[in-house]
Structure 1
Amino acid sequence: MGLSVGRDPCGNPSPHDNATACDSSSPFRHLISLRLANCSPDLELSPTALRSLHTLRSLSFLRCPITPIKCFPSPLAASLRSFSCISSLRPLPASLLSHLHNLTYLSIIDVPISLTSPFIIFSQMHSLLSATISNTTLSGQLPRHWHSLTLSHLDLSLNALKGPVPGSISLLESLEFLNFSSNSLSGLLPEAIGDLIFLKTLSLSRNSLSGPIPETMAALPELTQLDLSFNQFNSSIPRFLSEMKSLKRLNLESNNFEGVLPFNASFISRMEVFKVSGNSNLCYNRSVLSSKLILGIAPCDKYGLPVPPPPGKGDKDDSFSDYDYGGGEDDGGGGGKKGGGGQHEVNRLVLGVAIGLSCLVFLVIFLVCLSKLCG
C-alpha cells in the first residue's frame, strides 16, 4: 500500500497521496485514520489486514480500483465514524454500508452499489451528520422514515430514485443542505418542506416534480440557493420568493410556470444566479422590468399573456433576448412606442406640409377674389 511498515505508521509521510493519522497512545500508537489514493489494481485488503485496522475511525478510498470488500470485520465496522469511497471498490455492497452503524460522515461518489435501496443503507445509521451518495446506482423510493435526525447535509443526486418526496423529510429538522437533483422523482413537493427552517441550499433540478411551489417555503429564512429547474412545476411563481432576504441563487428554468413574473429589477440585480427561461407561458411586465434584461421569456401583453414572437423571429431564437419589440397595441408596459417613433415623425411631417399647402392655396384664391372686387 506504500505505507510505512515500521512500528509508527504515522512517523513518515506516505507516498502516492496516501495518508495516515495516529493517536498518542503509548508505547505503541494506534492508527485512527487511513486514506488510500490512486491504488494499484493489484492491491488487495485481506480479512487479516482489515481485522488489524480495528482502531480506525476514518477510512477513505480515492480512485482505488481494488477487489471489492464484501464486509468489514465487526470491530472495524463499529469503530468507524467516517467512510469515504470515490471511484473505488466497484461494486460496493449496500450490506457493507448498512453495518456501519456509528458513522457520522458518509461519502459515496461515482461507485455502483449493489442492493440499491436507500432504506437498506440508512436504516441503522442514527448518528449521521453528513451523507453523500452521488452518481451511483441507488434506486427505489426515498425513505419514509428517517432514523438519523441529526443530518445537516444530504446529497442523493445523480441516481435513479423515483416516486415522491415524502412529507417525512421534515423530520430532518437540522438539514442545511439538501440535493435530490438528477433523479426520477415525481409528484408534488410536500408542504412539509417549509419545516426545514435551517435549510440554506435546496436543489431538486432535473426530476419530474410538478404542481405549484408550496407557500410554506416562505418560512425558510436561511435559504440562499433554490434550484427547481428542469421539472414540471406549474401555476404562477409565488411572490413570496421576492421577500426572502437570504436568497441569492434562484433557478426556475425549463418548467411550466405561467403568468407575470413577480420580481422587480432590484430583486433580480441582487441575485448571483437568476434563471427563468424555458417557461413558454411566463412573461414579464415592461413597466416593471427593462427590455435590456435578458430574461429568456417574452414580455406581457395587456392581458398578462406572453406576446407572441413576430413572424420569422420565434423560430430563429428561442431565448427572447431581443424580444421587447413593441407593437400596435398598448401592452401596459410602457414600451408600445418602441420601434414606431420614426413612422410617427414621418406622418406628422406629411400632415404639416399638407396643411401649409392648403393655406397657401386659400390665400391665393382670396387675393384673386379681392383684386376683382377692387377693380
Structure 2
Amino acid sequence: MGRRWRRFPLGHLCITLDLLILVAGVVQSARNSTTASYTNPPPRPSTESPTPSTSAKLGGGGGGGTLRSTLDPKQLTALQSMGLSVGRDPCGNPSPHDNATACDSAAPFRHLVSLRLANCSADLDLSPTALRSLATLTSLSFFRCPIPPLKSLPNSLSASLRSFSCVSSLRRLSGVLLSHLRNLTYLAVVDVPVSASGPFVIFSQMRRLRSATISNANLSGQLPRHWHSLPLLHLDLSGNSLKGPVPGSISVLESLESLNLSSNALSGALPYAIGDLIFLRNASFSRNSLSGPIPETMAAMPELAHLDLSFNQFNGSVPRFLSEMKSLKHLNLESNNFQGVIPFNASFIKRLEVFKVGGNSNLCYNHSELSAKLKLGIAPCDKYGLPVLPPPDRSNKDDSYSDYSDDGDDVGGSGEKKGRGRHEPNKLVLGVAIGLSCLVFLVVFLVCLSKVCG
C-alpha cells in the first residue's frame, strides 16, 4: 500500500482536489436555491374582487371590443336604447363626438348629471322608459336635433333638472312642458316654436331662474302684468310675437342685468318704473312699435352700457341726461320720430363705441357743437332749430347731410342763406325779375309800335 501511494503522480492529486472543490460549490448553490424557494414563495392568484364596473360592448369607439364602464348599468342600457353610439366609458373620458356626458363621483357606480345631444341622427329614440332612468340629470341640452317633439318629461327628471336648453331641436315645445321644469336656474330655447299663451305660463312656477332665453320661438301673448320675484340676471324674449305694453311690474326683477325684448310687436310707452332696474347693463327694445319719450327715470341707471331703441316710434326730444351716463358705450336711436336738436357734444359722441341717430327726419345737429365730418345721418339745424333740407338732386339722404361744409352750416342766418341760395332761389326775387323783364319787353314793344305807326 505504501509503495502505491509513493508512486501516485503529484499532477493527478491536484486535478482530484479541483474536482472536489467544484462538487462542493455545486452542492452549496443547490442548498441556497432551495432555501430561497421557501423564504419567497411564488405569488398566489388574488381572491379579492375588483372595483365594480359595467361591461358592455359599445360601438363607434374604435376596436369594438368589450368596454368596462363605471356608469350605472341601468343608465348605460338607457343610453344604448336611445340609439346613442358611445365609443368609450361615458364617465371616464369625454366624448369624441357631438354627444357629451358628465357623471358624478358616486360609488360603486357613477350616475349621469349632464347630457348634451348634438347633431342627432333621425333614429334617436327618447322613450319615457329611457328618460326615467336618467332622473339623476341636472343638465339636459339639445342642439340641432330635429327629432320628434317631447310630449312630456318624467316628473322625476323634470324636478331634478337645473339647466335645460333646446336650440333648433325637437321641432316644437309646449309651454306646459317647460312650466314643469320648476327648479331650473338656466333656460334657453332658440329657434324652436313654443306653443303657449304667453311667458307667464312658462315662468309662473319657477322660483330659482337666473337666466331665461326664449328667442325666435313664435311666442305669442303679452308680457306678464304681474311678475313674481325672480333672481333673474338675464332675460331674452326677442324675435317673438309678443304684443301690448311693457308693464311697470318688470321692475320687480331688481337683479336684472340684461334685458332683450327686441323684434316683437310691443306698443305704448316705456314705464317710468324701468329706472328701478339699477343693475341693468344691456337693454334692447328695438324693432317694436313703442312710442312716447325716453323716461327720465333712466338717468338713475348707473350701470347701463348698451341702450337700443331703434326702429320704433319714440318721439319728443333726445334727453340730455344720456350724455351724463358714465357707463354708456352703445346708444342706438335710429329710425324713430325724435325731433329738435341733439344735445350732445363731440367728446361724448367720440366716447361712444356705437352711436346711431339716422332715420329721424325732424332731428338735427348744432353746427357749433358738432362737425359734419361725424356723418351722423341727420341734417344740420338752421337758426330756428329745424333741419336744413337736403339738396333735391341727391338720392342718398345720409350722404347729402354729411356733404354740408362747415362754412355752409352756420347756425346763424348767413349760413342758411348761402345754403339755400345755391339750391333754392328766393321766390320773391324770382317774381320781381320776371315782372321787370315783362315791363322792359312791353316798353320795347310800344316803342317799336310807335315807330311803325308814325
Where 2:402 maps in the other structure, the secondary structure is: coil
Determine which structure has the larger helix proportion and give its number. 2
The corresponding residue for 2:247 is 166
Displacement of 1:17 in angstroms is: 1.3
Task: Name 1:52's counterpart in structure 2.
Answer: 133
The alignment status of 1:104 with 2:215, answered yes or no, reads no
Q: Answer with 66-75 or 139-148: which moved more.
A: 139-148
Distance (whole Å) between structure 1 residues aligned to residue 136 and residue 94 of structure 2: 20
Counterpart code for 2:292: G
- Cα separation, partners in 2 of 1:316 and 1:14, compared to 1, 3 Å: closer
Shift of 1:18: 0.9
Structure 1's 338 and 114: CA in aligned 2 closer, same or farther, altered over 3 A?
A: same
> How far has the Cα of 1:9 moved from its partner?
2.4
Question: Deviation of residue 16 (structure 1)?
Answer: 2.9
Equivalent position to 1:274, from 335, 350, 355:
355
Tell me the secondary structure at the aligned position of residue 221 of structure 2. strand
Partner of 1:194: 275
Separation of aligned partners in 2, 1:334 and 1:24:
82
Deviation at 1:311, TM superposition (A): 3.2
Superposition pairs of residues 121-270 of structure 1, within 5 angstroms: 121-270=202-351
- In the TM superposition, what is the alpha-carbon distance from 1:328 to its structure 2 partner? 8.2
Q: CA deviation at 1:91?
A: 1.1
- Mapped pair 1:85 → 2:147: no
Q: Which residue of 2 aligns with 1:317?
A: 397
* Residues 367 and 410, structure 2, Cα contact 8 Å, conserved in 1: no
* Amino acid across the alignment from 2:200: F
Structure 2: distance between partners of 1:277 and 1:221: 26
Structure 1 distance, partners of 2:408, 2:106, is 85
Q: In 2, distance between residues paired with 1:173 and 1:49?
A: 40
SS in structure 1 at match of 2:268: strand
Q: Displacement of 1:319 after TM fit?
A: 4.5
8 Å CA contact retained: 1:125, 1:147: no
TM-score by length of structure 1 reads 0.86
Match of 1:369 in 2: none
How many angstroms apart in 2 are the aligned matches of 1:75 and 1:47? 11
1:192 is displaced (CA, Å) by: 0.3
Query: Which one has more relative contact order, counting CA pairs under 8 Å at least 6 apart?
Result: 1
| RMSD (Å), alpha carbons | 2.1
Change (3 A) 1:258 1:142: same
Closer/same/farther in 2, CA of residues 262 and 334 from structure 1, 3 Å limit: farther
TM-score (norm 2): 0.71
Do 2:390 and 2:397's aligned partners in 1 also have CA atoms closer than 8 Å? Answer: no
Q: State the identity as a percent.
A: 74
Q: In the alignment, does 2:86 pair up with 1:4?
A: yes
Where structure 1 has 5 or more consecutive residues not aligned to the other structure, the ranges are 341-375
The letter of the residue matching 1:204 is F
SS of the equivalent of 1:4 reads: coil
Shift of 1:40: 0.6
Q: Partners of 1:195 and 1:334 in 2: how far apart?
A: 47
Provide, for residues 306-350 of structure 1, a one-character-per-residue CA deviation record: whole Å limited to 9, x for no partner. Answer: 01113323x44345443425788952399669889xxxxxxxxxx
Is the CA contact (8 Å cut-off) linking 1:116 and 1:137 kept in structure 2? no
Which residue identity does 1:273 align to in structure 2? V
Looking at structure 1, the residues matched to 170 and 409 of structure 2 have their Cα atoms a distance apart, in angstroms, of 66
CA contact (8 A) 1:2 1:15 kept: no
The superposition leaves residues 93-136 of structure 1 with CA deviations (integer Å, 9 ceiling, x where unpaired) of: 11110100000000000001123421110110111000000001
CA shift digits 1:226-273 (9 cap, x unpaired): 000000000000000000000000000000000001100000001100
Q: What does residue 34 of structure 2 align with?
A: none
CA distance in structure 2 between the partners assigned to 1:166 and 1:322 by the alignment? 40
User: Which segments of 5 or more consecutive residues in structure 2 lack a partner in the other structure?
Assistant: 1-82, 421-454
3-state DSSP of counterpart to 1:234:
strand
For residues 109-165 of structure 1, what are the alpha-carbon distances to aligned partners after superposition, in whole Å with 9 as ceiling and x for unaligned? Answer: 000112342111011011100000000110100011223520010000000000000
- What is the deviation of 1:277? 0.1
In structure 2, do the counterparts of structure 1 residues 334 and 89 end up closer, same or farther at CA, with 3 Å as the change threshold? farther
Cα distance between partner residues in 2 of 1:98 and 1:48: 22
Q: Secondary structure at the match of 1:139?
A: coil
- Residues 130 and 153 in structure 1, CA contact (< 8 A), matched pair in contact too: yes
Asked if 2 retains the 8 angstrom alpha-carbon contact of 1:231 and 1:255, the reply is yes
Q: 4+ residue runs of structure 1 moved beyond 4 angstroms? A: 325-330, 333-340
Task: Name the SS of the counterpart of 1:245 in structure 2.
Answer: coil
Distance (whole Å) between structure 2 residues aligned to residue 13 and residue 36 of structure 1: 13
Give me the whole-angstrom Cα distance separating, in 2, the residues matched to 1:328 and 1:54.
Answer: 74
Task: Kindly indicate whether the alpha-carbon contact (under 8 Å) linking 2:382 and 2:416 is maintained by their aligned counterparts in 1.
Answer: no
Pairs aligned (count): 338
Describe the shift of the 1:252–1:11 C-alpha distance in structure 2 as closer, same or farther (beyond 3 A): same
In the alignment, is the contact (CA less than 8 A) between 1:276 and 1:296 conserved in 2? yes
Offset, 1:304: 0.5
Larger Rg: 2
Contact 1:297 1:320 in 2 (8 A): no
Residue identity opposite 1:193 in structure 2? I
